[in-house]
């Protein structure tokens, strides 16, 4: 197995160029910030950028925690890669990662100055310092469970094949880790309730929500609510459909990753109450007509 180090200061653009460097050197796996990555897919590990502090982030990136380290070592043995690109901020850091994972000596070392101009490195540093943005070389969907609510931009990475022709070689995600926040934003629990309630009451099988509770954390969104359902429908199928619709809408609405959703049927009603429509000139108007 070929082992190649990719070294550059923090914020110099290593992760931004990781996929390109790996492809150019025929390396099929990447180790970056605690993750083992293969072809835009997280194979094992956890992102150091999820850590609440910079010190915690460094520990994750160095595979200090035994459970994390053994998970990645087992994945490497299972996948048996032909080559691995290890990213680090210094020679000492990549050496420590290789040592902790039992990977041996490096066959080659590539430095950020060899693949990026001084201007590009300076631009990357400014983005990190002024905006707190970090790049992870995997698609956003791969990171949803680890970074609920922290995404900034998805990026496509292309390689020029000829005049006017480009080949897609990967996708990256831009995140702002907790330890790099410059302020915060809040989506109220009531806004989440309104979205869930709307999708419930428009279903013919559902009458209303009688109790609702939610909480959001970096691990994902927790939702727990009770419903009154209409007699005569397949309740299990209706609940599955409600769950799927709500998950999709919360993802579309604010990029929420729903970690737990508990729906409890508290009672049944024999007939669905018609929704209230505004009265126009003494006649109830149905907007569906």
| pLDDT given for residue 165 in this prediction | 47
Q: Name 78's Cβ contacts closer than 8 Å, sequence gap at least 6.
A: none
Beta strand 41-45 with 151-162 is unpaired
Examine the domain organization and report whether 164 and 219 are in the same domain.
no
| pLDDT given for residue 121 in this prediction | 80
Give me the domain span that covers residue 217. 189-269
Q: Tokens for 57?
A: 């982030």
Q: Tokens for 241?
A: 């459909």
Examine the domain organization and report whether 83 and 199 are in the same domain.
no
Q: Which helix (H) or strand (E) holds 243?
A: helix 235-254
Give me the average pLDDT of each 10-residue run along the chain (289 residues). Answer: 90 78 89 85 80 78 92 94 92 94 94 87 68 48 44 42 45 45 61 88 91 78 91 92 90 75 92 58 44
Examine the domain organization and report whether 64 and 128 are in the same domain.
yes
CATH of residue 238's domain is 3.30.70.1350
pTM of the model: 0.51
Domain count across the chain: 2
Query: In this structure, are residues 50 and 178 in contact, taking their beta carbons and an 8 Å threshold?
Result: yes
Any domain includes 196: yes
Q: Whose structure tokens read 């050496």?
A: 95
189-201 and 235-254 helices, crossing angle to 10°: 140
| pLDDT given for residue 70 in this prediction | 95
Examine the domain organization and report whether 240 and 218 are in the same domain.
yes
Label residue 92 exposed, middle or buried (CB < 10 Å: 0-12, 13-18, 19+): exposed
CATH of residue 134's domain is 3.40.50
| pLDDT given for residue 254 in this prediction | 66
Examine the domain organization and report whether 204 and 131 are in the same domain.
no
Examine the domain organization and report whether 174 and 217 are in the same domain.
no
Examine the domain organization and report whether 162 and 36 are in the same domain.
yes
Examine the domain organization and report whether 222 and 159 are in the same domain.
no
| pLDDT given for residue 55 in this prediction | 80
Any domain includes 166: yes
| pLDDT given for residue 42 in this prediction | 80
Any domain includes 278: no
Examine the domain organization and report whether 169 and 202 are in the same domain.
no
Give the span between the Cα atoms of 109 and 5, in whole angstroms. 5
Examine the domain organization and report whether 107 and 222 are in the same domain.
no
Examine the domain organization and report whether 167 and 202 are in the same domain.
no
Q: Tokens for 167?
A: 């080949």
Give the span between the Cα atoms of 100 and 78, in whole angstroms. 17
Any domain includes 64: yes
Query: In this structure, are residues 80 and 14 in contact, taking their beta carbons and an 8 Å threshold?
Result: no
Examine the domain organization and report whether 148 and 253 are in the same domain.
no
Q: Whose structure tokens read 């595979």?
A: 63
């Amino acid at each position: 197995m070929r082992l190649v180090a990719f070294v550059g200061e923090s914020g110099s653009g290593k992760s931004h160029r990781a996929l390109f460097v790996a492809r150019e050197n025929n390396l099929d796996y990447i180790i970056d910030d605690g993750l083992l990555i293969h072809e835009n897919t997280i194979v094992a590990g956890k992102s150091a950028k999820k850590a609440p502090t910079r010190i915690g982030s460094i520990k994750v990136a160095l595979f200090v925690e035994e459970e994390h380290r053994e998970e990645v070592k087992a994945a490497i043995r299972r996948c048996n890669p032909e080559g691995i690109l290890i990213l680090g901020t210094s020679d000492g850091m990549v050496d420590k990662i290789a040592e902790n994972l039992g990977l041996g000596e490096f066959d080659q070392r590539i430095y950020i100055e060899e693949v990026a101009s001084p201007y590009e490195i300076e631009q990357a540093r400014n983005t990190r310092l002024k905006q707190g943005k970090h790049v992870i070389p995997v698609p956003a969907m791969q990171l949803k469970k680890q970074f609920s609510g922290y995404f900034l931009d998805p990026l496509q990475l292309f390689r020029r094949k000829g005049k006017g022709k480009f080949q897609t070689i990967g996708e990256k995600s831009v995140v702002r880790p907790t330890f790099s926040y410059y302020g915060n934003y809040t989506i109220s629990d009531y806004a989440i309730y309104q979205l869930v309630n709307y999708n419930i009451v428009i279903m013919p099988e559902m009458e209303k929500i009688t109790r609702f509770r939610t909480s959001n954390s970096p691990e994902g969104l927790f939702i727990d609510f009770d419903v009154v359902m209409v007699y005569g429908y397949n309740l299990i199928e209706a609940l599955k459909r409600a769950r799927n619709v709500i998950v999709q809408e919360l993802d579309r609405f604010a990029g929420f990753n729903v970690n737990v959703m508990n729906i409890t049927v508290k009672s049944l009603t024999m007939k669905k109450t018609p929704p209230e429509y505004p009265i126009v000139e003494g006649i109830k108007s149905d907007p569906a007509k």
